[in-house]
Structure 1
Amino acid sequence: MRFPQNRHVLAIVGVAVLSLTACASYTPTPVADTSVTEPAGVEVESNEAAAAEAEPEPSDAGAAAADPEPEPEPAGSATADSEPEPAGSPTAEPGTDPEPAGSGTAEPEPDPSGGAGADTGTVQTKWGPLTETDRKLITGVRLAGLWEMPLAQDAVQRASTPRVRQISREIASQHHTLDKLVRDTAAKLKVKLPVKPTDEQQDWMSDISSRSGKAYDTTYVKWLRLAHGKVFALIGTVRGSTQNTEVRRFAEQCNTFVLNHQRLLESTGLTTPESFPTPSG
């Protein structure tokens, strides 16, 4: 008989059934999810900030050693060098006395040999000697402009003939240029210039202004022609005798103006023997 073997089989089957029954009623313990997930966003600090946090703060003892504070000086103590000078005070050089306050640098005295505007005699200038005759020409040309220029301007309005009005306009304009020339020359040579006409010239002005019509034109041409003749003779004398190069140049320029004025006055047809200087014997 095979019963014992069957009992062995049955026993194995029973064990298997019990195992299955136990497995069916068993509830397994949940296992943590091991799947890979994205990490949450983490804010990362900059290198400077991280380094700043990582660097340890110095202790009080270390800070005092690194940057020692100077001890305060007592009030009113002087420095080792010197007391500060007040603002704007000049620094005196050794061995010199300081100048008094407000004193300026004195201008150098003019060189007496440079023609310091003497009214008489001959003085030396860098252009050569300046004589009394040289100065007479400069002042004479200035005097001529002081009365001839305003008279010519007046004749532009009052003259009775177109020709006299025309030449008066030219004479007035040229006297304006000549007056600037004489003032520049006088400034270089330090010659004092007159500021008003002579008594004789004022008499001529009064005589001309008191007339009208044809008499005005004739008197005007007569006195201006006579005055130009006198200056013209002086120009020739100075041009031929002066040793001053500046005066010689001035005389040549004046000669051009005065000669032109004489021709303009004579072109009116109103010149008479009275319009010319008395011939020398």
Structure 2
Amino acid sequence: MWLVAACGAGPSSRAGARAAAPTTNKGVSGTDLSLRSTSFGPLSAADQKLLALVRETSLREITTSQMALKKSSNEGVKQAAQMISKQHVELEQRDLDVAGKLGLRLPDKPSPDMQVGIDRMRGENGTAFDDDYVNTLRQAHGEALILISKVRADSQNSLVRSFADLADGFIKMHIQALEKTGDVDYSKLPVPTPDAA
């Protein structure tokens, strides 16, 4: 998995990545372990991946949450969508601000697989929409929480650490709101593996 390699499995991995900069150091599966120097501390490939993914996710979740506010008749889904949309607008603005300070260009549209989900939800109504919206976002938030935690634990960049703290708080609130709807199908969530703990 790219993230474990990019973040480093321990102090010796981070030291190796630090020593390799500014040249590119390829780790497991060709993952880039080099660090780019910034005035806020070294920036890793994992740091950059987090910022890009949050931007793509915000674009998707603002769009689908606006759909939920129009399409859903479930008050729990509407409440979750209202909070998710509002907080992703704030998170997106902070993401763009951090990226600007770090000299990064972030995606301006969701990834192709995210777009497939957006297009699918556009054609859904009623409980089919509610179930898809809640379960798609719940699974995505679970995956994002793992990524954010790993980057937050290992990032040497002060801006990325601060951003990860904000994102972590929002993600946990979103998970709780989605679960509160009663529509989460927990059997569709990935089974945790011992190495994830």
Output the TM-score relative to the length of structure 1. Answer: 0.55
Q: Offset at 1:261? A: 0.6
For residue 278 of structure 1, report the CA deviation from its aligned partner: 4.2
User: Which protein has the bigger helix share?
Assistant: 2
Alignment of 1:173 with 2:97, yes or no, is no
Give the equivalent residue in structure 1 for 2:124.
211
Equivalences for 1:85-234 in 2 at 5 Å?
121-234=34-147
Q: Gapped runs of 5+ residues in structure 1?
A: 1-119
Cα distance in structure 2, aligned partners of 1:274 and 1:137: 27
* Further displaced range: 183-192 or 198-207: 198-207
TM-score normalised according to structure 2 size: 0.78
> For each residue in 1:233-268, what CA deviation from the matched residue of structure 2 results, as whole angstroms up to 9, or x when unmatched?
110001111111111111111101111111110000
SS in 1 for 2:37: strand
Question: Gapped runs of 5+ residues in structure 2?
Answer: 1-31
Shift of the alpha carbon at 1:209?
2.1
Structure 2 residue 131 is the aligned partner of structure 1 residue 238: no
Q: 2: CA distance between counterparts of 1:200 and 1:274?
A: 22
**Whose relative contact order is higher, 1 or 2, with alpha carbons under 8 Å and at least 6 apart?**
2
Maintained 8 Å contact 1:146/1:197: yes
CA distance in 1, matches of 2:66, 2:150: 30
Flag the structure with larger Rg: 1
- Is the alpha carbon distance of 1:278 and 1:197 closer, same or farther for their aligned partners in structure 2, counting shifts above 3 Å? farther
**Within 1, Cα distance between the matches of 2:190 and 2:48?**
22
Instruction: Note if contact 1:174-1:257 (Cα within 8 Å) is conserved in structure 2.
Output: yes
Residue 173 of structure 2 corresponds to which residue in structure 1?
A: 260
CA 1:234–1:179 in structure 2 vs 1: closer, same or farther (change >3 Å)? same
Deviating above 6 A after TM superposition, structure 1's stretches of 4 or more consecutive aligned residues are: none
Q: Which amino acid aligns with 1:131?
A: S
For the Cα contact (< 8 Å) 1:222–1:274, is it kept in 2? no
Looking at structure 2, the residues matched to 207 and 278 of structure 1 have their Cα atoms a distance apart, in angstroms, of 25
The question of whether the paired residues in 2 share the 8 Å contact of 1:149 and 1:172 is answered with yes
C-alpha separation between the residues in 2 aligned to 1:151 and 1:275?
A: 20
Counterpart of 1:216, as a letter, is: F
The alignment of Structure 1 onto Structure 2 pairs a total of residues equal to 163
Identity %: 35
Q: Is the 8 A contact 1:225 1:275 kept in 2?
A: no
Distance in 2 of aligned mates of 1:219 and 1:240: 32
